[in-house]
Structure 1
């Protein structure tokens, strides 16, 4: 495989993208920093089609990333391969308002192949290639320049290895007939709405006790205010106000700005400065949350109760059996919160009752809840059987 020097100019990047546009797939990875900013700072992009590989410096003066971004979001003939690509996809979405398409995520593929839950990249490389990765550059400050040869080699290795692993995983998926599973997952992950930071929805990330409309209305207004402040200043939202402070102010709002000096977690200067004034304005403008927008009771577990909890436990047992039988990571089939919702009587908007998950697990889970499926022990193994039928062999 040809490894190019670090690309720092537009023409070299455009030429690379022209060649890669003819490839069936490209493996992609990014290095970024986000500890001190709201928006992740893109510091390096690595890409390979298995024949050539390069690292691109997006911080290079005057470099035009458009050919690369077009390759990722406009060219539907080239498959984009990531490993645990959520943050990489977020970065591309921030730059283009689109997500890469089509996509393949090797971490999710590993789950579909029964190779464990949330398989780390180093484990994947070791399992498929027998290579132990050098982790010495993991804590690099990728925003600092110049990058040395070791840092660049470390970064490029992520995509050169990925380009070798991907075809092997794809072959296994085809042999097991699970390619459609991955396609459905990629459609879900690739939905651009997953990566939009809407200030009006930010309140849903903040934990708060109770469901009082007045409190939740203030929380929604305050969370939206904080999100806009963080976006405008490009600071982590916790640097503006921490979640627990935001929830406390929503539950016990100060009557006047001077009272902000008494709020734990806020600087005393907020009692007189502009940002404190904007916080008070957000409180003043808040309206009680309409009943239709209130979150369901008890963390989306309506009426679970003691018996419902036992049913949820049975569903978790069923999940373990089914995951074992078809050799897939249980987490890919269903999450605990979905099982609890199903046990509580919820039927709408559950992933396990749709698509391949319904075929592989949801149908049996529904049958168990509705009394049409039970358990039996045969040959020392726990099996499922339809009520009124003999245990499955």
Structure 2
């Protein structure tokens, strides 16, 4: 296992395969205010690739191409947030996508705990540390602890997807999960357009 940190963009020639785990770190939870700082990716081989975004230009053509590539499935946990951040700061629509949080909510109906830490603990027996979650991701240099934290958010998503796919099939909810995943870029666009909490499908 190794963590690779890049400045500004992914390196030329890096092939992460047809299924890539993706996450991001921002300056906060207000997508339109809090800048995108780091994007982390993994092919599922135990390595993590972190891109420290140039927040002056947001010019990351290889990263953008990967996020928009229709032949590469992107796995997220709580994809709604990351997709909105990529739409707003990078100007790219990310698809196709898979969200382990949505898959968890559709299968693990016996609990209301659907965080990444909860999933890795129950389904993989791994305890994740969230100590660096609220650290300064806009710093010029990331600490070793920040890099380790960011990497951990993508290293287990391939295995979680496989386990959740089995549960979705068992509960006969694969089709509805896929429909939810397909809708995520629209859900993110609604968030950015001013409908983050309003259920436009509700009667009132």
Give the structure 1 partner of residue 12 of structure 2.
14
Matched, 1:85 2:76: no
Aligned to 2:161: 166
Cα-to-partner distance string for 1:210-230 (whole Å, 9 max, x where unaligned): xxxxxxxxxxxxxxxxxxxxx
- Alignment match, 1:107: 101
- C-alpha distance in 2 between matches for 1:98 and 1:59: 16
What's the counterpart of residue 389 of structure 1?
A: none
Query: What is aligned with 2:4?
Result: 5
How big is the shift at 1:118? 5.8
Deviation (angstroms), 1:197: 2.5
Q: How far is the alpha carbon of 1:100 from its aligned partner?
A: 1.4
Q: Max radius of gyration: which structure?
A: 1
| Aligned mates of 2:30, 2:100 — CA distance in 1 | 29
**Range that drifts further, 113-122 or 126-135:** 113-122
SS in 1 for 2:134: coil
Q: Which structure 2 segments of 5+ residues have no match?
A: none
- Tell me which residue corresponds to 1:217: none
Change in Cα spacing, 1:114 to 1:155, as seen in structure 2 (3 Å) is: same
Q: Is the 8 A contact 2:22 2:41 kept in 1?
A: yes
How far, CA to CA, are the matches of 1:67 and 1:24 in structure 2?
15
Using structure 1 for the length normalisation, give the TM-score: 0.46
Structure 1 match to 2:39: 45
Partner of residue 135, structure 2: 140
Looking at structure 2, the residues matched to 9 and 47 of structure 1 have their Cα atoms a distance apart, in angstroms, of 14
Deviation at 1:28, TM superposition (A): 0.7
Local SS of the residue matching 2:94: coil
SS of structure 2 residue aligned to 1:15: coil
Partners of 1:141 and 1:196 lie apart in 2 by 24
Higher normalized strand content (fraction of residues): 2
Which structure carries more helix by proportion?
1
2:66 equivalent to 1:67: no
Tell me by how many angstroms 1:57 deviates: 0.6
Aligned residues, how many? 200
Partners of 1:94 and 1:63 in 2: CA distance: 11
Counterparts in 2 of 1:1-393, with a 5 A limit?
Answer: 2-8=1-7, 10=9, 13-16=11-14, 19-20=15-16, 23-34=17-28, 38-51=32-45, 52-59=47-54, 64-73=59-68, 75-115=69-109, 116-117=111-112, 119-191=114-186, 193-197=189-193, 338=202, 341=203
Q: Distance in 2 between matches of 1:114 and 1:35?
A: 26
Q: Which has the higher contact order (CA 8 A, sep 6+)?
A: 2
